[in-house]
Amino acid sequence: MNKIEVMRTVGSKMDDFIVKYLTPVEEIWQPSDFLPDSSKDSFKEEIDELREFAYEMPYDLFVTLIGDCITEEALPTYESWIMGIEGINQQENCAWTKWTRAWTAEENRHGDLLGKYLYLCGRVDMREMEITTQHLIKDGFDIGTETDPYKNFVYTSFQETATNISHRRVGSLAKQSGNKKLAQMCGVIAADEARHAKAYKFFVSRIFEMDTSEMMNAFESMMKSKIVMPAHLMRESGQKVGELWQYFSDAAQRCRVYTAQDYIQIFKELITEWKIENLSGLTDSAERARDYLLKMPERLQRITDRMQIPEFSYPFKWIRT
């Protein structure tokens, strides 16, 4: 069975998957549910409270929140990339096209909510943030998957889980400081990401059942080249492509929102989720791939244990001084 046939077989149950992993438009939350209502007399009071909490957020945590928003706002890149995967055909309006559009519609609310929050909070130089977002969409990304659906679903399984962690942690830290509104916003976004991660992990599980060795090789290929985050090419005005990412990553690690240890933990969870140790009937190359995958977390741990994160905070143009 080739990859097109596998994709068609998995996609034959797409209506069930959409019901299980996505939420009807009329039932799911919308950004306006969590933002101050401009039609109410309490609008100014709510804005003042929102601004006060935003200015109290630690610098690195606030940087991470902005970067998370920019990542979400680059959604057009992600949809166009998924639509180009082998086995997804827009012209035929296949099952996978239906999934991609519905997934995109849910994801679109994330950047919409965070972007409006950041605009209202008064602490963000919105023009600089918007320049970074436009650059990120214009520059695109290279995640090493090409058009291979197997590699792409390994990537989305990992990345959606990582995004869930990042939003959830920002929300948790915001809640500790009393910022319940932002905590709610990050919490509902994180919940969406968790559902989406479950979907992509399930798709990979189904592929493992039908094309075990090729799926194993794809998993190894992605982890060997390393999973890069969607915003790895981000830049500010006047910068070169990708020049900003390391500074943003350092900020996220310093405030413990997303760390190298999280990367290792997600990897381990995928190995368990897909029952890598117990799979049988592998080709020789797939057996070697499995051995590599099972040993890799320990290698990564040794590297992580030696890592040192810079203590200084880069002066991001996004934040008003």
Please identify every residue annotated as catalytic: 29, 72, 107, 110, 160, 163, 192-193, 196
CA 250 to centroid of chain Cα atoms? 17
* Helix pair angle (95-121, 75-83), 10° resolution: 170
* H/E run at residue 168: helix 149-176
Question: Which of 193, 186, 29, 30 lies closest to 103, judged by CA?
Answer: 193
First to last CA, the chain: 58
Q: For residue 49, how many other CB atoms are within 10 A of its CB?
A: 16
Q: Position 223: which residue type?
A: M
Contact 129, 135 (CB under 8 A): no
Whose CA is closest to 258, among 302, 209, 202, 309? 309
| Dihedral sign for Cα atoms in the order 96, 102, 108, 110 | negative
Q: One-letter amino acid identity for 164?
A: N
Burial class (CB in 10 A: 0-12, 13-18, 19+), 85: buried
Residue type, 285: S
> At which residue do the structure tokens 């680059």 appear?
74
Which among 220, 215, 185 is positioned nearest to 200, based on CA atoms?
215
Answer for the pair 296, 223: CB distance below 8 angstroms, yes or no: yes
Closest C-alpha among 101, 59, 76 to residue 248? 59
Residue in 175, 198, 307 with CA at minimum distance from that of residue 249:
307
